[in-house]
Structure 1
C-alpha cells in the first residue's frame, strides 16, 4: 500500500540527503518526494510517498524521528487531505491533430504553455487520477517528453 508522509524538517543543508539515505539504507523505494519551504523560511515540508505495509511505515517513522532536524512526521494516507501533482507533457501536434489535442486540454482544464511547429507542451495540475487520465488521453498522439513533480499533500481542516 502506498503511504503519504508529511515531514516537517529544519531548513538546513543536507537534510534531504539524510532522509533519502535513511530510505535507501533500508532498501525502501521512495515513489515520490517533494520538498519546499513552508510559511516559515526556517522550516521545510517534505511530502514522501512510499510503498509498504504498516510495519514498514512504522519502522521508517521511528528512524526519521531519530534525525535531529526532523520536527514532525504525519502519515496522512488515511486522513482527509488534498493532493496535487504538476506535469508538463510534450506531445506531437501537427495541423491535423492540434484542434483535437486542444479539446482534450480544455476538458481537463490544463494549459498549453508552449507551441512548437510540430509539438505542444501542456501543463496540468491535479490528483493522481486526473494526471493518469490526461496522460492516457494524450498517448495516442505521441508523448515526446514528460516531466512530473512529486505529490504534495496537505490535510484538510484546521489540524
Structure 2
C-alpha cells in the first residue's frame, strides 16, 4: 500500500540524509521524494511516497522521525483529503506529419509544448501521479526519447470529507 508522509524540517545541511537514512534503516522503499521551502523562512517540507505493507511500521517510522532533532512535524496524510501534484517533462519523437495527431492526444491533459526541434517535441504536464502515468502511456507508442519526473508533492485540503468517501477516492 502506498503511503504519503510529509515531514516539516529545519532547513540545514544533512537533514535530508538523516531522514532518508531512517527510512532506509526501516527498509522503506521511497517511490517519490520532493523537498522544498515552506512559507516560513528556514523551514522545508519533504513529501515521501512509500510502499509499505505493515501499518505498524508506518506508525513506528512517524514516531522515530518526530524524535529527530531537525524535524518539526510529521504527518501520514494518506487517509486524509489531500491535493497531490507532480510535474513531468517528456521528450517525444515527433515527425512533422504526426504533430497534429499528438497535439489532439495531449490536449485533454492540458500539457504544454516547452521545446520543439525538427523531429522532437518536449511536453510539460502537471497533475496527480495517475494522470502523469496515463499521459506517458499515450505517448509511449510515438517513442519517448527522454523523460523526467519531479516526484509527488502534497498537502492536506482545508475541508475534509467523511472517512468512507476519502478511502474510495484514494483507491
Normalised TM-score (structure 2): 0.89
Higher percent of residues as helix: 2
Count of residue correspondences: 159
Distance 2:31 2:108 in 1: 28
Q: Offset at 1:11?
A: 0.8
Aligned to 1:151: 152
| 1:105 and 1:112 in contact (8 A); partners too | no
Q: Offset at 1:4?
A: 0.2
CA deviations 1:46-102 (Å, max 9, x no partner) are 001111131111121122112101000111001001000000000000012111111
Aligned to 1:108: 109
Aligned to 1:87: 88
Q: Return structure 1 stretches of 4+ with deviation > 6 angstroms.
A: none
Instruction: Specify the SS of the correspondent of 1:12.
Output: coil
Aligned to 2:38: 38
Distance 1:16 1:118 in 2: 40
Gaps of 5+ in 2: 161-171
Aligned to 2:164: none
Distance 2:34 2:16 in 1: 10
Q: Offset at 1:158?
A: 6.6
Aligned to 2:28: 28
| 2:96 and 2:118 in contact (8 A); partners too | no
Instruction: Specify the SS of the correspondent of 1:78.
Output: coil
Q: Offset at 1:105?
A: 2.0
Distance 1:7 1:147 in 2: 24
Please tell me whether residue 117 in structure 1 is matched to residue 111 in structure 2.
Answer: no
Aligned to 1:129: 130
Distance 1:135 1:41 in 2: 36
Q: In angstroms, what is the RMSD of aligned CA positions?
A: 1.2
Q: Offset at 1:32?
A: 0.6
Normalised TM-score (structure 1): 0.96
Q: Offset at 1:138?
A: 0.4
Aligned to 1:78: 79
Q: Offset at 1:155?
A: 0.6
Aligned to 2:168: none
Aligned to 2:169: none
